[in-house]
Amino acid sequence: TQLLEQSPQFLSIQEGENLTVYCNSSSVFSSLQWYRQEPGEGPVLLVTVVTGGEVKKLKRLTFQFGDARKDSSLHITAAQPGDTGLYLCAGASWTDKLIFGTGTRLQVFP
Amino acid sequence: GAVVSQHPSRVICKSGTSVKIECRSLDFQATTMFWYRQFPKQSLMLMATSNEGSKATYEQGVEKDKFLINHASLTLSTLTVTSAHPEDSSFYICSTQGGRDQPQHFGDGTRLSIL
């Protein structure tokens, strides 16, 4: 069974702080996606990384895919209250199914 | 990108009731759709893969007679929770397949509460 473990599970920080969320697995994925989900809504895609070692930046968010395509990280610089939400990584297997990570709940206080 | 509409957004009903949730792909012909369940403060768990014109593929531990899936057209998949009980209360989310290494497009979810 493919599992994606995210850490930390919960993160509560002040506005302006930096943070990193990790997504780890023992399985190799063809690609990895990061989503953010707000309460009562479906997940919204932030980024897809495909190549091992790939780094993508989206404003204050930096995503990295591990060289072996088994892990990924999300770094947020100068967090803002609007970044609050549930962050989910999801690995795509060769069957087109998505395996979701365990989730990281982020709370940014003003 | 593709837009997915899920209906209803919230259902509250008595134990023993059957509840149908619709998932529509508004601008994309979806031969495959996915149904997920999300318990409070947890991640999404894939329940089944819905295939247009054929039987759904269920994940291990998901009762196919409990969660009936029908995908009769390229734009509509339905999930029916039969004889729902309080333990079936959850957030149910559908998505359309985006293709290899392409993102899935998610509906806004259905909050099901069984009293």
Q: For A52-109, how does the pLDDT look when each residue is reduced to its tens digit (9 = 90+)?
A: 999 999 999 999 999 999 999 999 999 999 999 999 999 987 777 889 999 999 999 9
Q: Check whether B98 has a pLDDT greater than 70.
A: no
Q: Does B6 touch chain A (CB under 8 A)?
A: yes
> What local confidence, expressed as pLDDT, does residue B95 receive?
93
The Cα A99–Cα A27 span in angstroms is 11
What is residue B59's DSSP assignment? P
Contact call for A105 and B41, based on CB within 8 A: yes
Query: Which of A32, A33, A97, A105 is the best residue to mutate to test the B interface, defined by the most B CB atoms within 10 Å of its own CB?
Result: A97
Label residue B28 by pLDDT band (50, 70, 90): confident
Residues B8, B66, B4, A101: is their CA dihedral positive or negative? positive
pLDDT at residue B101 above 80?
no
B76 touches chain A (CB under 8 A): no
Q: Which residue has better confidence, B34 or B53?
A: B34
Give the separation between CA A109 and CA A61, rounded to whole angstroms. Answer: 18
| pLDDT value, residue B104 | 83
Q: For residue A92, what pLDDT is reported?
A: 87
Q: Which of B36, B101, B109 sits opposite A48 (nearest CB)?
A: B101
Contact A97 B49 (CB under 8 A): yes
